[in-house]
Structure 1
Amino acid sequence: MEVFPVNQYDPLMPGIVMAMVAIVHVFMAQFAVGGGMLLCYFQWLAMTGRCENARLFVHGYFKWLVLISFVAGAATGVGIWFTAIQVSAPTIGQMIQNFHWIWATEYLFFLLEIIAGYLFYRYHERISDTACLRLLGMYAFAAWMSLFLINGIISWQLTPGGWIEDQSLFAGFFNPTFWPSTLFRTIVALTLAGLVACVVVNTMKELDQEAKRKLINYAAHLLVPMVAMPFLGVWFYFMMPTDSQGWVAGGSPAMTLFLNIAVGASLAIGGYAFVGLYLQKLYINGATATLLLLLAFGATAGGEFVREGSRKPYSIRYWMYSNGIFPHEVAKMREEGCLADDPYPLRDGTPVAGEITTRGAKVFRRQCAVCHTVSGINGVSELTVTWDADQMRMNIAKLQHTKPFMPPFAGNAEDLESLVRYLKWFDERNDEEAEKPFEEATLKTNQKWLDEAGTMPLSLPGETSLQAEEGEK
């Protein structure tokens, strides 16, 4: 097995660092996709004479925002790759190994998006309306194909479907949640473009309020597909694994909270857009449009948090745990220890008391650091501060039973004891207690709890967590 060290950013958990980059990227990238579609629509309105200021909107204003979002989306996309390999290189490796041709194809569409967008930006004043529409259509199609292809890969992480049995590229890409998430993201892209357009129209000082209202009402047409969001959301929910459904439906308070934020914000935007902008054809000022856009950002953040969190305890459902360990490796690591193939020293300045706490810090980095800090956001020392040493040993040994959204502890009795000593030392700073020799009775008890817990997760493909627990009994 290949081992990659996790870079720790205490007091920020590594996942938060990646999420901050990823949410901005998703927001910008989806706006760029929807922006291309909106540009096509307004170019068509201008060509057919349906909206007298549509050409001014396309050629004078909106192209700048698409360009900005395009550049920002590309930059944050690189940022995702950079932070991902710092946090979970094994997951990225699996995604590239299994979908390298999909990634390569996506890069070709990305190149087409760049070329078409630049040609329109550079030459729109010198070419015909028809040529402009063709370039914008090319840009919109290439941008949407990037969404289409990347969504197949990230939805595979949650619902790999038939890929688990035969590693078929087709089965993995067109997985159970592919279509509902692709359609949902397409509507989100249209929504973001429509909301940004409402903000931009309010900056056009050469237009009076009536002219702005007409442009806003046309932009609101892109918000109408939001009425399909609840149906797509329900479709996606029923395609999720049973225990993932449980996390978002109340099993994990954080995921339920973020789901409610995403749903509530989406309902507020959709209701205002459909009734006020589309049906009543109201004018919306810049402040209100900006508020709706901020709500959309909140909905995006909440939705991405739920999508990521509902995979637990996996980073690739049923295939790789969130800490980069494969399920089939757990039994071997229970015998050999989790550091047998880990040659990496601790980072300079990592506080430890001696040999045992050094081992414990390495065990923490190997098994916990992707999702936790030692002390900080989601800090293990804070989460376990009320546990005594024996309670900590048992709870960690039986981790998949203690916390079903976490993977089994993948280490031997000595690894477990080292981790407990390290966490206790971090809180108490008692060097003598932390570094005293292991007691044989304690190691036997640790092994007993590890054996009772088993090496399997609580859910496997095609079964619920309850069925898995009954199977172990």
Structure 2
Amino acid sequence: MPEHLGLYPHWYVPAIGSAWVMGIIGTIHVLASHTSVGASWLFALLETKAVRENKPELMEYIKKYGMFLLVFSYIIGSITGPGIWYSVTVASPRGISGLIHNFVWVWATEWVFFFVEVIGVYALVYLLGKIDPRTHLKLTWSFAVASWATMILIVPILSFMMWPGNERWYETGSTFDAAFNLNYFAHLGVRTAFMFAIAGAVGGILAATMKNREVRIEITRFLSKMGLAGLFLGVVMWLWYLQTLPENARIVMETQMAPKYGPFLAAVLLGTLLYFLWTAWKPLQLRQGVAVAMTVVIALFGLWPEERSRESLRKPYVAGQYIYSNQLFARDVPGKGVTSDLPMIEAKGVLQTHMFVPADLRTVTPENKVRAGEFLTKTLCTNCHSIEPDAKLRALPARFGFSDDPVMVKAYLDGALYHGTVPYMPRLPLPEAEREAMAAYIASLSKGAAPMLAAHDALQQGAH
């Protein structure tokens, strides 16, 4: 058993918690990146049609969309990409370390394809009309293949974050055992479907501005078909995806995500379906403002809940079902030389083994109990929860009914969390003194929170 916990100083962002910084940045990045990959295939298919049917007028739209893509995807995407790396490094250092140790060469390969993709989109836009059409078509298809390759190589990492899908990886530590797991192909299908749908929606923003009536009709209907294909593929892939989830994710889906987001996402899906059917039927009625509104609806009411749900489904883990969201190692992984932290914190506690605990908090006393509890709570809980009673994202006091009674709070810490009986919460087998300190601090957060309790109860009653 190691002598110390290998944890870094904790980073906490008030009101939303640390992990949600990465989540918000990541959602923006997904919108930009998936639009880019979807648009690359739109360009390839549409340009193939233009060359085969000798319709050079379609190329004007490709150039216009390409210029839009350079700003929307390759500036916003290039900013949010490093933003994910910076935020995840401070919010989840062990999580990103675990992914790097498994997938460093996969990431390196993905960056090669991304380099080709960036060069490809610039060449596609600025060489249009300057080289012969068939050579340009080859360039466009190269851009499309490189774009999709980046998705093919990133999805194994995202799927592994849900779970390895087999026990073999824990013994071998092999990248291939981790990458091409049970969840991989279904996950890739879901993201591929979304890239078609979002590229079709964003493409409508520019199709509505085309002055040539016949071109506008043809492109709008082409986008509608692409969007409808994406929706159909997405439903099929999502049903498959649900069958590839681990047991803890199924429980979260059935008890929390489906009741909360199910009707909402179904409404967005139906609205998007009706939108693409309408634009296919009446392409000239599409206006730029409507296309912008549809893109916003998909992003805010479709993508955000979907990404938030996916992040929630893997709880209590952040990667591989061996790293808890609070950065503790939850099990031994011989293939990576990883040893579970749980026996050590059960025997010695966090305050005695964490390298960055202030000296006066190493031992819990009546005088420092609340401060020690604050350190423990921020270290062990705030990667998922915010601690302010009025916070909008997973407020920790709300989970205890805004109770200011330390005895009630400690009963939960002594029972469910100590023994790990809640599938979506990490097991925290802390010593008695540390559980008392956490209970004292969590209870102190709810003192004077009566108005919030009343609002919380009203909201719960309204939901039922």
**From 162, 174, 177, the counterpart of 2:180:** 174
Matched, 1:121 2:125: yes
Given that 1:255 and 1:306 are in contact with CA atoms closer than 8 Å, whether structure 2 keeps it comes out as no
Corresponding letter in the other structure for 2:27: I
Letter in 2 for 1:342: H
Give the partner amino acid of 2:346: R
Residue of 371, 388, 405 corresponding to 2:424:
405
By how many angstroms is 1:45 displaced? 2.4
How far, CA to CA, are the matches of 1:160 and 1:364 in structure 2?
Answer: 29
> In the comparison of the two structures, how many residue pairs are matched?
417
Distance change (3 Å), C-alpha of 1:410 and 1:138:
farther
Cα deviations by residue, 1:40-87 (Å, 9 ceiling, x for unpaired):
12222222236453111112x111122121221121111111111121
Residue 358 of structure 1, aligned match among 326, 351, 371:
371
Going from structure 1 to structure 2, the CA distance change for 1:122 and 1:410 (only over 3 Å counts) comes to farther
CA contact (8 A) 1:248 1:259 kept: no
- What TM-score comes out, normalization by structure 2 length? 0.84
The CA distance in 2 between the partners of 1:427 and 1:57, in whole Å, is 57
Residue 136 of structure 2 aligns with which residue? 132
Partner Cα separation in structure 1 for residue 295 and residue 56 of structure 2: 26
Residue 62, structure 1, aligned to residue 75, structure 2: no
SS at match of 2:318: strand
On the 8 A contact 2:404/2:445 being kept in 1, the answer is no
Letter matched to residue 436 of structure 2: E
Question: Does residue 241 in structure 1 map to residue 243 in structure 2?
Answer: no
Higher RCO (Cα < 8 Å, 6 or more apart): 2
Matches within 5 A, 1:447-458: none
Structure 2 counterpart of 1:392, one-letter code: V
CA contact 1:381–1:423 (8 Å) conserved in 2: yes
Residue of 232, 239, 253 corresponding to 2:237: 232
Which whole-Å deviations, capped at 9, do the CAs of 1:150-172 have from their partners, x for residues lacking one? 11101111131122343221121
1:330 aligns with 2:342: yes
**Alpha-carbon distance between aligned partners in 1 of 2:136 and 2:9, rounded to the nearest angstrom:** 49
Change (3 A) 1:127 1:40: same
Residues 350-389 of structure 1: pairs in structure 2 closer than 5 A: 355-375=368-388, 376-377=391-392, 378-384=394-400, 385-386=402-403, 388-389=405-406
Q: What is residue 459 of structure 1 aligned with on the other side? A: none
Match of 2:268 among 265, 285, 301: 265
Compute the displacement of 1:182 (Å). 0.5
Q: Give the match's secondary structure for 1:216.
A: helix
Q: Which one of the candidate residues 304, 310, 320 is aligned to 2:307?
A: 304
Amino acid at match of 1:96: I
Q: Flag the 1:256–1:78 CA change in 2: closer, same or farther, 3 A.
A: farther
Residue identity over aligned pairs, in percent, reads 21
Deviations, residues 205-234 of structure 1 (Å, cap 9, x unaligned):
x334x5422220122231232212222111
* Equivalent residue number for residue 292 of structure 1: 294
Cα RMSD between the aligned structures? 2.2
Separation (CA, whole Å) in 2 of partners of 1:227 and 1:427: 47
Instruction: Report what 1:438 is aligned to.
Output: none
Alignment partners' CA distance in 1, 2:421 and 2:397: 16
Determine if contact 1:32/1:66 at 8 Å carries over to the other structure: yes
Q: State the AA in 1 paired with 2:414.
A: A
CA distance in 2, matches of 1:183, 1:373: 33
SS in structure 1 of the partner of residue 178 of structure 2: helix
Give the Cα–Cα distance (whole angstroms) in 2 for the partners of residues 410 and 113 of structure 1. 48
* Equivalent residue runs for 1:4-403 within 5 Å: 4-49=8-53, 51=55, 53-59=57-63, 61-68=64-71, 69-162=73-166, 163-204=169-210, 206-208=211-213, 210-225=214-229, 226-249=231-254, 251-252=255-256, 254=257, 256-273=259-276, 275-278=277-280, 283-297=285-299, 298-327=301-330, 328-344=340-356, 355-375=368-388, 376-377=391-392, 378-384=394-400, 385-386=402-403, 388-400=405-417, 403=422
